Structure 1
Amino acid sequence: MSEGLHTHAPHEEAVHEAAESHNPKKHSLYQWVAIFTALLATIGAIVSYQGTHLMNEVLLAKNEAVLEKAKATDQWNYYQAISTKEHLMDLAVAMTPTSKNAPFQKKIAKYKQQKKEVQLQAEHLDQLSNSANQHSAQLDKPHNDMAIAMIFLQIAISLASVTALTGRTWLFGMAILSAIGGIGLWGMALSLA
């Protein structure tokens, strides 16, 4: 056997080069894009869950505001009904002689007392409704920020996908900037929630 030059067939060289390019110690752009995309998808899932949870809280607070407003409206309607009765008693006093209007005066006093109590209840329910509305509005701001954060994360994932197809590193840079923007908005939303 002679010792000489050893050559590989062309397909063996291609296999050898492919094996070297997929060396686990050397990370290619495609590996970074894959890792980046997986991380963003995970963060996006968390942001989406938190946004949905926050939106449920917004809706619950808004529902509470509507419920309290309906109760307050009922109380104000009751107040109006008592006022109508009181006015009828005033009319009865005006139409009867002074000696016979004592029962009407008694009812007028009763209606005035009832109106005070009903008015206090109605005002309290109005305050509860306003408070629930304010709480809903406070929760809606971070929810909106989370929705915008999710848009930035989705743009970053899209840019990373195009990077994997084209191999353009500047697109990957844009994806990273978009991801940073999305994560920053998410952090701001968490601080407000």
Structure 2
Amino acid sequence: MEDVTTEHLERREQAEHAAHSGDPLLTKVSVTIAILAVVAATIGSLETVESGIALSKKSESVLLQNRATDQWSYFQAQSIKKNMYDIARIGTPAQAEAYEKKARVYETESEATKDKAEELGRESEALIEAGEHHEKRHHVLTVGVTLLHVGIAVATLSIIMRGRRWPWQASIVLGVIGSAVAAYAYAV
């Protein structure tokens, strides 16, 4: 990824050398390369941000899922205790009332625990979905920035080919398409 980050600087340097040749087309190509490099760097930064957000959301989801798992384990323990008091109530009629009270306490607590576990599970699912949304955005931005880098490379062909127009025009088209793809990442 580091090579991609500095590639636009090399292209800009080549464009600056060409700009000093005095050919007006090469000056336009140089300016185009500089603009494409700035747009590519900006979109590359957005791509990195989206990737970081996706990872963060998914990590938060895992933590919440662990908390939900803990709550489910606690719910099971409470249910077992409730069932043990129900069995004790049947087996020991003399203390049936005391065992009945304890069984109902565990039953009430276990319902609250179950509700909390389900809520944590829903929150975890929501974070997974959010992470996937940012990951998709990251992938679309990757396509956009790649098209911009290809546009920069194609523009340099105009310099190498001593002022041919078609590579420069193609680079502008690639730059527009790459920018449109990057903008689309935020439209979906």
Where on the TM-score scale, by shorter chain, does this alignment land: which range? Answer: 0.7 to 0.9
SS in 1 for 2:130: helix
Structure 2 counterpart of 1:150: 145
User: 1:184 deviation in Å?
Assistant: 0.6
In the TM superposition, what whole-angstrom CA distance separates every residue of 1:13-54 from its partner, at most 9, and x where no partner exists? xxxxxxxx955xx613x2222111111111111101111112
Structure 2 counterpart of 1:66: 62
In the TM superposition, what whole-angstrom CA distance separates every residue of 1:71-125 from its partner, at most 9, and x where no partner exists? 11111110011111122223323333x2332222121111101111111111111
Structure 2 counterpart of 1:16: none
Structure 2 counterpart of 1:53: 49
User: 1:176 deviation in Å?
Assistant: 1.9
What is the identity, as a one-letter code, of the residue corresponding to 1:69? Q
User: 1:150 deviation in Å?
Assistant: 0.6
Structure 2 counterpart of 1:182: 178
The answer to whether residue 102 in structure 2 is matched with residue 104 in structure 1 is: no
What is the identity, as a one-letter code, of the residue corresponding to 2:35? L
SS in 2 for 1:191: coil
Q: Distance in 1 between matches of 2:99 and 2:123?
A: 36
Q: Distance in 1 between matches of 2:48 and 2:21?
A: 40
Structure 2 counterpart of 1:27: 24
Post-superposition, which runs of at least 4 consecutive aligned residues in structure 1 deviate over 3 A? Answer: none
The answer to whether residue 87 in structure 2 is matched with residue 91 in structure 1 is: yes
SS in 2 for 1:133: helix
What is the identity, as a one-letter code, of the residue corresponding to 1:56? G
Size of the aligned set, in residue pairs, is 168
Higher CA-based Rg:
1
Identity %: 24
Structure 1 counterpart of 2:109: 114
Q: Distance in 2 between matches of 1:91 and 1:183?
A: 69
SS in 1 for 2:109: helix
- Are the structure 2 counterparts of residues 159 and 58 from structure 1 closer, same or farther at C-alpha, using a change threshold of 3 Å? same
- Are the structure 2 counterparts of residues 33 and 95 from structure 1 closer, same or farther at C-alpha, using a change threshold of 3 Å? same
User: 1:148 deviation in Å?
Assistant: 0.7
User: 1:130 deviation in Å?
Assistant: 1.6
Unmatched tracts of structure 1, length 5 or more: 1-20
What is the identity, as a one-letter code, of the residue corresponding to 2:175? A
- Alignment match of 1:38 (pick from 31, 34, 39): 34
Q: Distance in 1 between matches of 2:157 and 2:21?
A: 21
Unmatched tracts of structure 2, length 5 or more: 1-19
| Superposition CA RMSD, Å | 1.9
